[in-house]
Structure 1
Amino acid sequence: MSRSRRPESGLARPRGWLRSHPLAFDAGLAALVLVCMIGASFADPHDGVHGPSFGARTPDPRGVVLMVCAAVALVYRRRSPLPVLAVTGSLAVAALAFTSSDPPAPVAMSAVVALYTVAARTDRPTTWRIGLLTMVVLTGAAMLFSEGPWYAQDNVGLFAWTGIGASAGDAVRSRRAFVDAMRERAERAERTREEEARRRVAEERLRIARELHDVVAHHIALVNVQAGVAAHVMDRRPDQAKEALAHVRAASRSALGELRATVGLLRQSGDPSAPTEPAPGLAVLDALLDTFRNAGLPVALTRTDDDRALPASVDLTAYRIVQEALTNVRKHAGPGAEAEVGVVRGGDVLEVTVLDDGTETPPPATEGGHGLLGMRERVSALGGTLTAGPRSGGGFRVHAILPVTAGTRAAAARPAGAGDTAAAPRPQQPGPGEKHA
């Protein structure tokens, strides 16, 4: 996904360079700390009337060496924070114990910076332990080696500065962790949205492919049969040939209408209006059976559903099961086969049964058809069951049990803009002996 980039400020390029060269940044920070320590060593905090005075004293040479060594150690604070803290802390204690100036050389500045680094790059328990140890060692050394009383202002200030360094580092670490967590959450939410969108697209693509298969397989099979009849009787019985061609025209017109309705689901906002004709259902079951009868397949119908209204998804599924099963009969049952269709409603279930007495051997499951797969997907999406297989006395049987109330739940759960069936689960392989469209 493309993201809009914020306009970069004038400091964006130097910041990026410093992030990519951390050693250079640490060297600059070490130099700045050294300048501050040397400058503070020239100041007398108690000599001025309104504050410290500068130039009243000069730093001890040993203190200068310790300050330089502490500043050099800070260059490696990012690579080895704990060893650098140990080195700077030891140098600070040495400055308190072995320098003759009063107050001693402010080497503790480098220890405070090192303690900040440790707190910013470790966890909170480690920060508490190391920070408390550093405060105790530095403050205890200052109280032990200073010429003034143990409660002197300089000793209290050293205790406070070490606490501030540890607290500031812990705050920075917590802020970084919070920002990283928010960034990870945003990236995870974006990935989830993309995965959900891909899943919806895959489910819709499978549903539309199933619809197109049901429409094309049924009508093209009828067109093929009627065209063959017309070609066979064209010379001897032109009236019968004209009737067959009329059925071809009607079947092709019906196929175009259903294809137009299915493709209309792919339209986006702003496109011409999609067809408003309702999806086929059991209300037009007689018209469907007439198309097969006109193609030479005798079909008997038994209905005990009293034409009661069904949820749209259940109604369409029952219609497609009959359509696909009879298409398979017409293609695979052989000449002279007859079919029976039963639609029975009992309580909250609808049973659809399609039988034939064909004698031709069904095609093997390796032919790769999708008719029975599509029927299984439709029925499974509604929480029903479908069985299909050869009959003991010859022929084939397709039997589906559809929960009537499942259609209402599926429609309520379906996202806006979806088609007339619920999202299909993973396709199932046909059972032994099942036929393919």
Structure 2
Amino acid sequence: MNEKTQSQGTLRSEARIAHGALHRLRQDLFVDAFAFRPMPPLEDAKVARWVPWLPERLRHWARWLPHLIVGGFSALVFLATFTMGYDIGPLRGLLMAGYCLLLAAPPALTLFRPVGAYWISLFAVIVGWFATSAFTPYGSPFGGEAFATHLAVMTLVVLRTRPRLAVEMWLVTFGVTGVLSVFSGSGAGDVPPVAFFSGLVLIAAAAVRAWREERRAVVETQTVTAEERSRRTLLEERALIARELHDVVAHHMSVIAIQAEAAPYRVENTPPELATSFATIRENAVAALTELRRILGVVRSEDPDAFREVDPEAPQPTLASLDSLLDSVRGAGLTVEAVITGAPRPLPQGVELSAYRIVQEALSNTLRHAPGADARVEISYVLGGLGLRIINGAPSRLAKPSPGAGHGVLGMRERVQMLGGEMTADHTEDGGFEVAAFIPVAASEATAKGGAA
């Protein structure tokens, strides 16, 4: 009983597999067989890679080179077939021209309707077999140029569609031609060698198509991965900036709350309305501080230690701390010179913090990527803002692999853009690297900062 049940289960599985194969065959070769599927031109990057010597004007037209090759092959098939029967008389010549057109059209049609081109090509093979059988008793569907063209069409269809069509077209083609061989009286002796050779050609075409699909999938995956990595790095940099600016904003809100609480006691006989207004200001400032702490908790929720400083209670650094930063990098072996032009003046804390971090990141990059090079830090206090320029020379020895993410320039650029400034970062002619940034500061902001100080 168990053996019978197992046998029935095996038959059902085989029937399911056969049904699935027939369903795929029907979907691939019969459903929408003549659907319009135009082959797009080559990408500009491929053209530039394949024919870099071609002038720019001609590269645009070179994108259509595959279409031109296939069209030329169709024209060659038509001319080669038609010239073979040019002296057979007017009527037969007209019929020959129609047959040549039927034979030459499928290769060109693979550019627009690949599966339909296969069926037309197979029909041309059958017509050619009937025409050959009318003049010789030993006609064969594999004789002449009809089957060679059909094999070329099947190869083009596989390259244009999907690899599994190679098996499906091979089965249909040799199923039909095998039956024709038997009915023609030539027997099936030609079928095995021709089928074997055709199978090798189609397998090679299917392998090329599968390799192209795999390569395209890998390129798409790498592109998506690079975009996700860049997006994640950008979010991490923004979270770091938000963490640092939190202390700056929290300081200002604390000052507002303290001044609003102390203001009523500085005036005798404070009106109740004024006292209520100051109380409301203090309550809003305290509420804002609470919301800031919640935002900071969201930023740090994924990795609580991601932005923790050595001393979490220490104030955020400013340009006044630049000397200690330079001393620390000099202690690490970097020869660095600092030049300050213009009259130093108090700037908004966000600007000072960002400027300090940009200098810190640029010098860190010099230590990592340009060992043995000298560095120069230029800070310019100008009327419209603050200018920064950090430049280093060429390394004197090979840099060791760095464990960092390699997105320091992205973080610096994000800080500058957040403040409405501009930044450039590029290699210099002598093999070094230069970071230049300008952070605009309105005169009102600098005045307010100076007054608060």
Q: TM-score range by the shorter chain?
A: 0.3 to 0.5
Higher relative contact order (CA 8 A, sep 6+): 1
- Taking structure 2 as the reference length, the TM-score comes to 0.43
- Larger helix proportion, structure 1 or 2? 2
- Please give the TM-score of this superposition, normalised by the length of structure 1: 0.45
Q: Which has the larger radius of gyration?
A: 1
